[in-house]
Structure 1
């Protein structure tokens, strides 16, 4: 049995959504952010030294990093969610998988952290300008790519969508950027209409309500 160590409002949503989509039985161990710091609880360090989520326990292994977990789950349990290695789309698939936690997440998090610092009265010079330039470049690139597309790769749902969909949903609704990215909004709205996405949202909300 798989065990997902799931932190609310985190990258772990990707794994929750994927497990629901492939209808793989799993156990869910919930963790909740500190109400004051909004950080993960120290108890997560009992599972993995970094104290972050998601963490997946599977066949005696403790696996961190959402990208690695997504790739492993798809390779072993849901190969239809990835192009085959001899398919030209496989290169695009890999690029988008890794884009999600590198090119996309860096300006996203910088934007979040800069906003916190500005609220505290910190004066930002280089970092604010750099962040905005990277933010516009990266998400402008995604916006252009998604013109007339429902999915990132091969005109079908793949692991790349499980990875990047989480980031783009945050872009639209946590950062209130929907009006600036109509193609991204259409894409995210399509993903969020999937029964598996809705099931994952319901499971997370049940935990918060509990």
Structure 2
């Protein structure tokens, strides 16, 4: 049986959701974040970078990176029903969103996290300077990029209600973490089509089963 090394409140929630959608049996090991909200050092025993998610295959191979894990699971466990037909517009869209979710989508969200941490962790005597640095970072890089990406999602979802084609696919699973994070940190959930999409994915039975297996997940 495969094993998922799952970090609380992280992008690895998507791997659990995919496995639940496909009804693939799996073991799970849940890790808590440390005092700095980072993955614990013990994950480095599973993979040199010590990041979650990590999927250990039935033959003992450790696969890291959400996109790589998603690709492995889809191809190994009859998940092609969650992929649009080849040589279609929907398949081209699918490929784009699968790469975009961990690329362009996450960069401004990570910068938002950094600016928030600068404010929260600065000692009192450095707080004015730290706040000014954080404000500059947000005004020049974070907010413009977040706004552009959120508007892009809203326009894309307005077409069919899904990210790739006219029905639910693994691209919606992949996009769940950046969109949920933006809803939590940047008000993305106020956009009507994004809100409707979030409500639809959260109502899926497999999504709910993944929450039960993975534990508390603040972005849901």
> What's the TM-score, normalizing by structure 2?
0.87
Distance, in Å, in 1 between the alignment partners of 2:84 and 2:189 is: 32
- Structure number with the bigger relative contact order (C-alpha 8 A, sep ≥ 6) is 2
1:56 corresponds to 2:66: no
Distance, in Å, in 2 between the alignment partners of 1:42 and 1:106 is: 24
In the TM superposition, what is the alpha-carbon distance from 1:179 to its structure 2 partner? 5.5
What secondary structure is seen at the aligned counterpart in 2 of 1:155? coil
CA root-mean-square deviation: 1.9
1:54-88 Cα shifts (integer Å, max 9, x gaps)? 00111332100001111221122211110232233
In the TM superposition, what is the alpha-carbon distance from 1:90 to its structure 2 partner? 1.2
Q: Could you tell me whether the CA contact under 8 Å between 1:108 and 1:171 is conserved in 2?
A: yes
Distance, in Å, in 1 between the alignment partners of 2:192 and 2:31 is: 34
In the TM superposition, what is the alpha-carbon distance from 1:44 to its structure 2 partner? 0.2
Structure 2, unmatched stretches of 5+, are: none
Q: How many residues are matched?
A: 206
Distance, in Å, in 1 between the alignment partners of 2:192 and 2:112 is: 20
> What's the TM-score, normalizing by structure 1?
0.91
What secondary structure is seen at the aligned counterpart in 2 of 1:27? strand
What secondary structure is seen at the aligned counterpart in 2 of 1:3? strand
Aligned to 1:79: 80
Runs of 4+ in structure 1 off by over 6 angstroms are none
Structure 1, unmatched stretches of 5+, are: none
Distance, in Å, in 1 between the alignment partners of 2:181 and 2:29 is: 23
Deviates more, 1:119-128 or 1:157-166: 119-128
Q: Could you tell me whether the CA contact under 8 Å between 2:84 and 2:91 is conserved in 1?
A: yes
1:175 corresponds to 2:189: no
What secondary structure is seen at the aligned counterpart in 1 of 2:17? helix
What secondary structure is seen at the aligned counterpart in 2 of 1:146? helix
Aligned to 2:9: 9
Q: Could you tell me whether the CA contact under 8 Å between 1:149 and 1:187 is conserved in 2?
A: no
What secondary structure is seen at the aligned counterpart in 2 of 1:28? strand
Q: Which aligned pairs between 1:47-196 and structure 2 lie closer than 5 A?
A: 47-58=46-57, 59-77=59-77, 78-119=79-120, 120=122, 121=127, 122=130, 123-124=132-133, 126-128=136-138, 129-147=140-158, 149-172=160-183, 174-175=184-185, 177-178=187-188, 180-196=190-206
Aligned to 1:202: 212
Alignment CA distance shift 1:84-1:76 (3 Å): farther
In the TM superposition, what is the alpha-carbon distance from 1:117 to its structure 2 partner? 1.1
